[in-house]
Amino acid sequence: MSEYNYNYHDDSFSLDEADSYTLLIQIDKTSFSYAITHQDKLIACADMHPLDELSNPQELLDLLSAKYKQVVVGLPSNGFTLVPQSLFSQDHISSFGRFLDLKPNEKVSAQQLDGENIIIYKTNNDIVTAAEEFGLRHTVFALKGWVAAIAQNNPGNTDLYLDINGTQVTFVAFNNGKLRFHNKFEFKNNDELAYFTTLISKELNIEPADATIHLSGEIEADAQSINRLAEFFGTVKLNELQIVQIPREIESHKILSLAALSLCASLEVV
């Protein structure tokens, strides 16, 4: 595994107090990140742990086996689609799954994304199995909290939000406070990232000069991708939205989607 993007434990952190903590786990294709919060304060977090540490923990045995007040596990998707809540039926999940080209090694899940949309997504079975260690009732779509965090912070009609995870970039945009666009793409370089962002801007009829691009995830403040995007768009900046109180040494944009899972802690999944 590569080095941590972040690794933090507050001096007050103690697993003896786990029953008052919330454990957040965000899984991607080959690794997972975790964060622990207490009364809206981040008290521990780390990323880049191998997936088998979930099902057979060694380094994190004590941390993962503690009895927490709440647990939220964010599952990654190999593909997803949105369905209006008015058209959704639990009995039709498998039918909707066919639109996602469901493979034998994938499981389809569904849950409410916002007040109007159900998100239906597919995840590799081995990842679902790893998450089952915590009970599937605790699982949510990995970026559900991220979408909710943006929605509740008055996104403008010309704001475009990107979350970068390795070679994947997820976009979300709103219109008059309602979800307008949500999709994910694979990209190989900065030019492709700029291409997809421009394509979506045109699809949404947002003039590039008027657009504000908000970046979160695996991106550095001095990344060349920021400079490349700035060649096309009026404003490009890191998303400094904070869902919980975080220490100065943690860059808020890097843990935004992870920390935002705390917004899902009291929500029931479909």
Report residue 1's pLDDT band, with 50, 70 and 90 as the boundaries: very low
Instruction: Give me 73's structure tokens.
Output: 């596990």
- Tell me what pLDDT residue 93 has: 84
Domain boundary assignment for the chain: 1-153+242-270, 154-240
Cβ-in-10-Å burial (0-12, 13-18, 19+) of 195 comes to middle
Average pLDDT of the residues in 121-134 = 91
In CATH, what number does 1-153+242-270 get? 3.30.420.250
Report residue 3's pLDDT band, with 50, 70 and 90 as the boundaries: low
Residue 96 has pLDDT above 90, yes or no: no
The CA-based angle 247-253-256, given to 5 degrees, is 85
Residue 270 has pLDDT above 70, yes or no: no
255 within 8 A of 249, measured Cβ to Cβ = no
User: For residue 58, which amino acid is it?
Assistant: Q
Residue 268 has pLDDT above 60, yes or no: no
- Tell me what pLDDT residue 262 has: 96
Q: Give which of 220, 171, 177, 175 is closest to 194, Cα–Cα.
A: 171
pLDDT, mean over the chain: 93
- Tell me what pLDDT residue 229 has: 98
Residue 173 has pLDDT above 70, yes or no: yes
Structure-model confidence comparison of residues 180 and 96, the more confident one: 180
CA gap 39, 204 in Å, rounded: 38
Report residue 89's pLDDT band, with 50, 70 and 90 as the boundaries: confident
CA gap 241, 2 in Å, rounded: 26
Category of 265 on φ-ψ map: left (φ > 0), alpha (ψ -120 to 50) or beta: alpha
Place of tokens 């409410």: 112
Residue 267 has pLDDT above 60, yes or no: no
What fold characterizes domain 154-240? Answer: Nucleotidyltransferase; domain 5 (3.30.420)
Are 1-153+242-270 and 154-240 equal in CATH topology?
Answer: yes
Average pLDDT of the residues in 82-97 = 86
Residue 2 has pLDDT above 60, yes or no: no
For a pLDDT cut of 70, what percent of the chain falls above it? 96
Q: Give which of 245, 237, 243, 269 is closest to 257, Cα–Cα.
A: 243
For CA atoms 21, 133, 218, 9, the dihedral sign is positive
- Summarised one tens digit per residue, pLDDT across range 28-68 is 988 999 999 999 999 999 999 999 999 889 999 999 999 99
Which three-class secondary structure string do you get for the chain?
Answer: CCCCCCEEECCCCCHHHHHHCEEEEEECCCEEEEEEEECCEEEEEEEEEECHHHHCCCCCHHHHHCCCCEEEEEECCCEEEEEEHHHCCHHHHHHHHHCCCCCCCEEEEEEECCCCEEEEEEEEHHHHHHHHHHCHHHEEECCHHHHHHHHCCCCCCCEEEEEEECCEEEEEEEECCEEEEEEEEECCCHHHHHHHHHHHHHHCCCCHHHCEEEEEECCCCCCHHHHHHHCCCCEEEECCCCCCECCCCCCHHHCHHHHHHHHHCCCCCC
- Summarised one tens digit per residue, pLDDT across range 184-240 is 999 999 999 999 999 999 999 999 999 999 999 999 999 999 999 999 999 999 999
111 within 8 A of 144, measured Cβ to Cβ = yes
Q: What is the pTM of this model?
A: 0.94
